[in-house]
Amino acid sequence: MSERYTLYQYDSCPYCARVRRFLAEAGLDLPMKDTLRDPEARRELIAGGGSPQVPCLRIERDGRVQWLYESLDIIDYLRGRAAASAQS
Ligand SMILES: N[C@@H](CCC(=O)N[C@@H](CS)C(=O)NCC(=O)O)C(=O)O
């Protein structure tokens, strides 16, 4: 995948666990930031994405940054990107 990702999340969040479970099953290893333990990560999330809600996937492509909220949307997005990169 020609994009860089960071997953903002925390351990006790069930929606974050859903995304982490998908990542493990798909064999995807993404950098993660814990917004409960790391106040700077929480500030980044609010400043960039506009909300402290987790999980949120930060997507960086060609110098542009997108913040994707909602666990099921994150999973759908990553599944689509993984499939696309497997075909190329
Ligand atoms: N529908 C969302 C729900 C996400 C959600 O409710 N996350 C909670 C943590 S479990 C949250 O971020 N609450 C606000 C906060 O912690 O500041 C999803 O599926 O991602």
CATH at residue 65: 3.40.30.10
Q: Is 15 in the pocket of ligand 1 (CB under 6 A)?
A: yes
Neighbouring residues of 16: CB distance < 8 A, sequence distance ≥ 6: 7, 9, 10, 54, 55, 71
Q: Which of 8, 22, 54, 71 to mutate to test the pocket of ligand 1 (most atoms within 8 A of CB)?
A: 54
Q: What is the pLDDT of residue 48?
A: 98
Do the beta carbons of residue 23 and residue 34 sit within 8 Å? no
Q: What is the pLDDT of residue 87?
A: 79
pTM: 0.95
Q: What is the pLDDT of residue 2?
A: 85
Owning domain of residue 54: 4-87
The percentage of the chain sitting over the pLDDT mark of 70, rounded to a whole number, equals: 99
- Residue 21 CA to ligand 1 center (angstroms) comes to 16
Number of structural domains in the chain: 1
Q: Is 59 left (phi over 0), alpha (psi -120 to 50) or beta?
A: beta
Locate tokens 């290893």: which residue?
Answer: 29
Ranges of the chain with pLDDT below 50: none
First to last CA, the chain: 10
